[in-house]
Amino acid sequence: MIIFCPNMDEPYRDQQMKEMDKTFRAILERRRSIRRYLPEQVPDEVIKRCIEAAILAPSSSNLQLWEYYHVKSPAKKEALVKACMSQPAAKTAPNLIVVVTRHDYWKQRCDANLDFARKVAWEEPDDKPIRASTYFTKTIPTLYFDFLGIFGFFKMIFSFFVGLRRPMFREVRAGQVLTMSHKSVGLGAVTLMYALGAEGYDSCPMEGMDSRRIRKLLDLPKGAKINMVISCGKRADGGVYGPRFRLPVKDVFFEV
């Protein structure tokens, strides 16, 4: 385990940072989407550690609109495999985790942030608690609340005209805000997969699925959205479908 201490000697700290970079790069390079697994189960304690890592992922406005369901019931797991089109990545996986976007929980998570802001002991005498209160009682509710798309339409008109005079947030309609929630939850899912890799296990994110059946299987309300299903375990021979293909950096990275 690499421990980083900000007060350590500079040469030693630089060496540890280099070792951390090598470790992270190794995890990045090793990660592939695995389609066939060995039957060995991922221990529950490993799953829990990886979930603990996943919830450290960045989250828009710190709303943390995610939930993770480790499906352990044999009957539910069988049904989940079918809902994932019985693809090999699901069918051969010893463990399946459903990643859920709880966009419908925005108010509860907003209140939790507000409670934290009110309870935390701020070191410096500034207006942080006031700004946090305004943000979580006015800004977020204005952005997330909608009714049949009506408020979203008026918010779009408002942002358009304000945007003529100054920079303005434009993604204000219900579908756009939901997409924003999915993006944050996706960051947690990526962190989960890299955490599994750090523990020596493999994974595969699956979006080819019947989200309605999965929501029913987990007894979730309509407001909950299935983000993806992640299979995990130890890769079997033939679990990687061919060499990795990535576009060259020059095609996707630009300096302006």
Q: In this predicted structure, what is the pLDDT of residue 179?
A: 93
- Residue 12 scores a pLDDT above 70: no
| SS3 category, 18 | helix
Q: In this predicted structure, what is the pLDDT of residue 48?
A: 97
Helix axes 174-198, 44-54, angle to 10 degrees: 130
61 pLDDT tier (thresholds 50, 70, 90): very high
Counts of helices then strands in the chain (DSSP H, E): 11, 4
- Residue 200 scores a pLDDT above 80: yes
Measure Cα distances from 204 to 56, 110, 136, 157 in Å: 20, 31, 35, 41
Measure the CA–CA gap between 249 and 229, rounded to whole angstroms. 29
For the residues 96-117, what does the mean pLDDT come to?
A: 94
For the residues 16-25, what does the mean pLDDT come to?
A: 80
- The enclosing H or E element of 132 equals helix 128-134
Q: In this predicted structure, what is the pLDDT of residue 185?
A: 98
Q: In this predicted structure, what is the pLDDT of residue 233?
A: 97
Domain boundaries, the chain: 33-104+177-238, 106-174
- Residue 192 scores a pLDDT above 60: yes
Q: Do 100 and 69 touch, CB atoms closer than 8 A?
A: yes
The first and second tokens of residue 217, run together, are: 């299987």
pLDDT tens, position by position, 29-40? 999 999 999 999
| SS3 category, 218 | coil
| AA letter at 8 | M
| Sign of the alpha-carbon torsion through 128, 131, 133, 136 | negative
For the residues 19-45, what does the mean pLDDT come to?
A: 92
DSSP state of 206: E
Q: In this predicted structure, what is the pLDDT of residue 239?
A: 93
Query: In 8-43, which residue ranges form alpha helices assigned H by DSSP?
Result: 10-30
11 CB neighbour count, 10 Å cutoff? 8
Q: In this predicted structure, what is the pLDDT of residue 171?
A: 87
The region of weakest confidence among 1-15, 89-103, 222-236 is 1-15
Report the percent of the chain where pLDDT is more than 90: 68
Q: In this predicted structure, what is the pLDDT of residue 62?
A: 95
pLDDT tens, position by position, 165-174? 999 888 889 8
- Residue 2 scores a pLDDT above 90: no
Superfamily of domain 33-104+177-238: NADH Oxidase (3.40.109.10)
pLDDT tens, position by position, 115-145? 888 777 555 556 666 677 888 989 999 999 9
pLDDT tens, position by position, 173-190? 989 999 999 999 999 999
- Chain mean pLDDT for the chain: 90
How, if at all, do strands 95-101 and 66-71 pair? antiparallel
Global pTM exceeds 0.85 = yes
70 CB neighbour count, 10 Å cutoff? 16
